[in-house]
Amino acid sequence: MEDVKLMKGNEAVAEAAIRAGVDAYFGYPITPQSEVIEYLMAEEPHKRTGMVVLQAESELAAINMVYGAAACGKKVMTSSSSPGISLKQEGISYIAGSELPCLIVDVVRGGPGLGTIQPSQADYFQMVKGGGHGDYRLIVLAPSTVQEMADFVELGFELAFKYRNPALILSDGVIGQMMEKVVLPPQKERLGDEEIDKRYGSWATTGKKNGRERNIITSLELKPERQEAHNLHLQAKYKEISEKEVRLEKINCENPDYLFVAYGSSARICQKAIQLAEEKGIKAGLLRPITLWPFPSKEINKLAEQVKGILVVEMSAGQMVEDVKLAVNGKVKVEHFGRFGGMVHSPDEVLEALETKIIGG
Amino acid sequence: MAENILTPEEIIKRGELVFKKTKLMTDNELSYCPGCGHGVAHRITMEVIEELGLEEKTIGVAPVGCSVLAYEFMNVDMQEAAHGRAPAVATGIKRVYPDKTVFTYQGDGDLAAIGTAETLHACNRGENITIIFINNGIYGMTGGQMAPTTLPGMKSSTSPYGRDINMMGHPLKITELIAMLPGTVYVTRQAVHKPGLVRKAKKAIKKAFELQQENKGTTFVEIVSNCNSGWKMTPVDANNWLDKHMLDYYPLGDLKG
Amino acid sequence: MTEEIIIAGFGGQGVLSMGKILAYSGIMENKEVSWMPSYGPEMRGGTANVAVIISDERISSPILQNFDTAIILNQQSMDKFESGVKPGGLLLYDPNGIIRHPSRKDINIYTVEGAAEAAKQKSSKTFNMIILGAYLKIKPVVKMDNVLKGLKKSLPERHHHLIPMNEKAIKIGMDKVKEVNKL
């Protein structure tokens, strides 16, 4: 029988992590994602799988614990919310520069500054465009259901290890706090030390056994020629990811007159707006990017040829809309609508924005 | 002249081998200034790891500072941490590999300024790691700025008229603080500017790594060192100044354990 | 079938757990469910509300502006949510502490003396189950045996001995619900 549970998004991430055979979680409490570490502490995964869970003294420390453990070839993760993620950016840049696989979960709240604890999608810039220093990319997955919160844990690790690159689940207070039905994956075994040496022994610091050369994990290269070469290597990797790993969902996109582009909980609200639009005789579709990086630019560009206008709906003052505009490249009108600072748009408001900004505008 | 100089092989053949570099130091040219204490501190740390047979299970963490490139010289698996974060990185390693030997090698700016929180909390949790702390009272790498451990009145590029404690605060005796934490099992202060002290420091490092094998808590070895470049002195003057002034404020010996 | 419900009152009244039991009951009937709480520093004594959706279809927005049913347990929530009930929808409330009663004529209005009945039971913890019983009497969106299964699922095992008491409270709610305005 399927293992169906009613869970919060935050709890689903935590349980999925145990079942994915994650070796360690390092975190620091912050609303609205503290349930992740609370759930893990209550579950005592060290008894279930041997998984390590540690509450660090800060987000800075937590992400650097992730660095240390990930550099050992282990399956390691952390989670936080926007202000905490800002703190983690230093470590994330080092992890990306050192090409370490790991999973980071950001349950976004409104900002800037201490902002609010209510849901937001205003971390798009800091997670998709960088945030830390240097030219690097994170693989960014945007769940819109509690089920996807659970599913993207393993998917995130799979991509992270495949490309030796940090992966990120970009969620928000709605998905983190809401409960839905979730079918949990079966328990996977954690990798043994020998298996880790076999798979990742060429780079992981596990102690230089059997006369092998020492492994060094660093993002430092003082000679600019060599740092440039390292950057070129990273860019080549990012290009490959862009070509191979785009994920998206299309809803009502067979023959729409208008298109919504939205991710996460905004995509859910757009689905309701599509139903409301239908009642008014307006044919609207939704393209939901599942990967925010790599971004589904090609698919958006293709759909831009078929529709009369695109409305980008985000809980931000307009962040992803920049990428949609780049993808559309002037082919059709693109507008942004969103509430922000912790406010969530209603389906009615979204439909009204479609009518005034796109259809009538 | 040249014909009088013996090659290493000839010396060894004549049975006069007095010193052999540990294989856990690479042949890379050290990036440290002549007279700097880092080279000795590196060497005795690596000698201890070799003597204890820990080569295959050791993972070291280099800091940001002069020893940022420690991984170029220490011939074991190494990670390079962000500035101040080495104890957090080491915590991550040790928690997923409790059977490995994990150490950090950090300077005073890294450990006692930007990384104070990570240092205190790793020690307070009693992480089974060894921290080697090089205290030379100055930021060497960035060109001789004031450090948290710079002595009162001591000149640096950011205290050009001497450290004014009313304005800049007091030198931080972080090792004393660390000795107070229940998570630490062995806390000691050593130096390496004289041969006798080098032997003592090596003994202390050995004890620290031995205690780590017993999972007894954090072991912490401070090494009061010099920085003739940053202090703007000759190597000999720097060592004399260290002896006269630094050790007054930072007295040598075991603080705990 | 889609039933969109808001349950609103003070923190500590069991608003969130009542929503959770309802959602679990929905799962027992193989329905799609969502449970979206207000969250934040307003815990015990502050206002708390949860939007629960039970549906035969995939649930789109978990955040609601309008509701098929509003279950109102304090004055602040009455002021906030009365207008959000869809025409023809249901408003169920406990009159305890309510000074401005609902005035709409285009919705069905019921009351249940939850606080008073819970006091009679000498257990304030049964309050939310009395309210739930009243709701299920008016709108049997889930079957009673599935509610009990839901209850069992949402309570930790160490609290399973409390299930009979909760079942009794649900029945009290079913008995005590009163019609105020029926369309």
CATH of the domain at A85: 3.40.50.970
Q: Specify burial of residue B158 (Cβ count, 10 A radius: 0-12, 13-18, 19+).
A: middle
pLDDT number for residue C43: 52
Select from A64, A71, A74 the Cβ nearest to the Cβ of B85: A64
**Are C33 and A271 in contact (CB < 8 Å)?**
no
- Is A175 contained in some domain? yes
**Are A272 and C62 in contact (CB < 8 Å)?**
no
Q: Is A69 part of the contact surface with chain B (CB cutoff 8 Å)?
A: yes
pLDDT number for residue A75: 98
**Are B71 and A216 in contact (CB < 8 Å)?**
yes
**Are A272 and C40 in contact (CB < 8 Å)?**
no
Give B31-256's CATH code, choosing from 2.30.40.10, 3.40.640.10, 3.40.50.620, 3.40.50.970.
3.40.50.970
Residues in B closer than 8 angstroms to A69, CB to CB, are: 92-93, 95-96
Selected for mutation to probe chain B from A26, A49, A67, A194 (highest B CB count within 10 Å) is A67
Of the three residues A132, A156, A183, the one that is the final residue of a domain is A183
Closest by alpha carbon to B199, among B62, B50, B207, B218?
B207
The widest CA-to-CA distance across chain C, in whole angstroms, is 45
pLDDT number for residue A45: 97
Residues A158 and A28 in one domain: yes
Closest by alpha carbon to B214, among B103, B128, B91, B133?
B128
Residues A260 and A133 in one domain: no
pLDDT number for residue C45: 60
**Are B92 and A206 in contact (CB < 8 Å)?**
no
- pLDDT, tens digit, for every residue of A94-105? 999 999 999 999
**Are C61 and A178 in contact (CB < 8 Å)?**
no
Angstroms from A168 CA to nearest CA on chain B? 19
**Are A117 and C23 in contact (CB < 8 Å)?**
no
One-letter amino acid for residue C73 of the chain: L
Select from C39, C60, C153 the Cβ nearest to the Cβ of A271: C60
- pLDDT, tens digit, for every residue of C62-104? 998 899 999 999 999 999 999 999 999 999 999 999 999 999 9
Closest by alpha carbon to A185, among A23, A13, A8, A360?
A13
**Are B77 and A61 in contact (CB < 8 Å)?**
no
What's the order of all strands across the beta sheet hosting A216-217? A216-217, B77-80, B58-62, B101-107, B130-135, B218-224, B184-191, B253-256
In this structure, the strands spanning C67-72 and B101-107 are unpaired
A220-229 burial, b for 16+ CB within 10 Å, e for fewer?
eeeeeeeeee
Residues A166 and A253 in one domain: no
Other C-beta atoms lying within 10 Å of the C-beta of residue C159:
12
**Are C63 and A344 in contact (CB < 8 Å)?**
yes
- Residue C101 is given by DSSP the state -
Give the chain A residue whose CA is nearest to the CA of B69: A220
- Is A236 contained in some domain? no
Angstroms from C41 CA to nearest CA on chain A? 9
Q: Specify burial of residue A216 (Cβ count, 10 A radius: 0-12, 13-18, 19+).
A: buried
**Are B100 and A207 in contact (CB < 8 Å)?**
yes
Residues A118 and A20 in one domain: yes
Domains: count for chain A: 2
Report residue A203 as tokens. Answer: 């780079």
- Is A210 contained in some domain? no
Give the chain A residue whose CA is nearest to the CA of B102: A207
Angstroms from A116 CA to nearest CA on chain C? 9
Q: Is A209 part of the contact surface with chain B (CB cutoff 8 Å)?
A: yes
Domains, chain C, ordered by start:
2-181 (3.40.920.10)
Q: What is the pTM of this model?
A: 0.94
- Is A195 contained in some domain? no
Q: Are A227 and A277 in contact (CB under 8 A)?
A: no
Q: Are A103 and A154 in contact (CB under 8 A)?
A: no
CATH of the domain at A284: 3.40.50.920
Residues of chain B with pLDDT under 70: 1-3
Q: What is the C-alpha to C-alpha distance for residues B137 and B24, in angstroms, rounded to an integer?
A: 28
Q: C34 CB contacts (<8 Å, ≥6 apart)?
A: A178, A179, A180, C23, C51, C52, C53, C59, C62
According to DSSP, the residues that pair with A26 across neighbouring strands are A54
Helix, coil or strand: residue C159: helix
The residue-averaged pLDDT of A6-32 equals 97
Angstroms from A108 CA to nearest CA on chain C? 14
Selected for mutation to probe chain B from A98, A191, A213, A216 (highest B CB count within 10 Å) is A216
- Is A218 contained in some domain? no
Angstroms from A24 CA to nearest CA on chain B? 7
pLDDT number for residue A246: 98
pLDDT number for residue A159: 98
Of the three residues A159, A183, A207, the one that is the final residue of a domain is A183
Residues A289 and A168 in one domain: no
Select from B55, B96, B117 the Cβ nearest to the Cβ of A24: B96
- Is A202 contained in some domain? no
**Are A174 and C62 in contact (CB < 8 Å)?**
yes
**Are A214 and B58 in contact (CB < 8 Å)?**
no
**Are A347 and C60 in contact (CB < 8 Å)?**
yes
**Are A265 and C62 in contact (CB < 8 Å)?**
yes
C-alpha distances (whole Å) from B42 to each of A179, B37, B94, B123 are 54, 9, 21, 22
Closest by alpha carbon to A80, among A154, A134, A131, A151?
A131
How many cross-chain Cβ pairs, A to C, lie less than 8 Å apart? 64
Angstroms from A265 CA to nearest CA on chain C? 8
The residue-averaged pLDDT of C139-151 equals 92
The residue-averaged pLDDT of A70-88 equals 98
Q: Is B71 part of the contact surface with chain A (CB cutoff 8 Å)?
A: yes
**Are B91 and A67 in contact (CB < 8 Å)?**
no
Structural domain boundaries enclosing A104: 4-183
Residues A128 and A15 in one domain: yes
Residues A143 and A272 in one domain: no
| Helix (H) or strand (E) segment spanning residue C149 | helix C144-154
Residue A26 in this model has a pLDDT that exceeds 70 = yes
pLDDT number for residue C39: 79
B–A contact (≥3 CB pairs within 8 Å)? Answer: yes
Residues in C closer than 8 angstroms to A6, CB to CB, are: 20, 23-24, 27, 33, 35, 153-154
Q: Is C2 part of the contact surface with chain A (CB cutoff 8 Å)?
A: no
Of the three residues A137, A155, A183, the one that is the final residue of a domain is A183
Give the chain B residue whose CA is nearest to the CA of A219: B80
pLDDT number for residue C30: 93
Residues A125 and A26 in one domain: yes
Q: Are A150 and A15 in contact (CB under 8 A)?
A: yes
A–C contact (≥3 CB pairs within 8 Å)? Answer: yes
- pLDDT, tens digit, for every residue of A146-165? 999 999 999 999 999 999 99
Angstroms from C53 CA to nearest CA on chain A? 10
Q: Is A194 part of the contact surface with chain B (CB cutoff 8 Å)?
A: no
pLDDT number for residue A335: 98
Q: Are B226 and B37 in contact (CB under 8 A)?
A: yes
- Is A235 contained in some domain? no
Angstroms from C178 CA to nearest CA on chain A? 31
Confidence of residue C41 (pLDDT cuts 50, 70, 90): low
B210-223 burial, b for 16+ CB within 10 Å, e for fewer?
bbbeeeebbbbbbb
Three-class DSSP labels, chain B: CHHHCCCHHHHHHCCCCCCCCCCCECCCCCCCCCCCCHHHHHHHHHHHHHHCCCHHHEEEEECCCHHHHHHHHECCEEEECCCCCHHHHHHHHHHHCCCCEEEEEEEHHHHHHHCHHHHHHHHHHCCCCEEEEEECCEECCCCCEECCCCCCCCCECCECCCCCHHHHCCCCCHHHHHHCCCCEEEEEEEECCCHHHHHHHHHHHHHHHHHHHCCCCEEEEEEECCCHHHHCCCHHHHHHHHHHHHHHHCCCEEEEC
Residue A1 in this model has a pLDDT that exceeds 60 = no
Closest by alpha carbon to C53, among B182, A6, B235?
A6
Residues in B closer than 8 angstroms to A197, CB to CB, are: none
Angstroms from C80 CA to nearest CA on chain A? 16
Residue tagged 């009951």 (tokens): C25
Q: Is A200 part of the contact surface with chain B (CB cutoff 8 Å)?
A: no
Residue tagged 């290597």 (tokens): A233
Confidence of residue C42 (pLDDT cuts 50, 70, 90): low
- One-character DSSP codes across C114-144: HHHHHHHTT-GGGHHHHHHHHHHHH---S-H
What's the order of all strands across the beta sheet hosting A52-55? A52-55, A24-27, A76-80, A102-108, A166-172, A139-141, A291-293
- Is A293 contained in some domain? yes
Closest by alpha carbon to C66, among C111, C104, C94?
C104
Select from C32, C35, C61 the Cβ nearest to the Cβ of A179: C35
Selected for mutation to probe chain C from A11, A38, A181 (highest C CB count within 10 Å) is A181
**Are A271 and C24 in contact (CB < 8 Å)?**
no
Give backbone dihedrals phi and psi of A145, rounded to 5 degrees, phi first. Answer: -140, 165
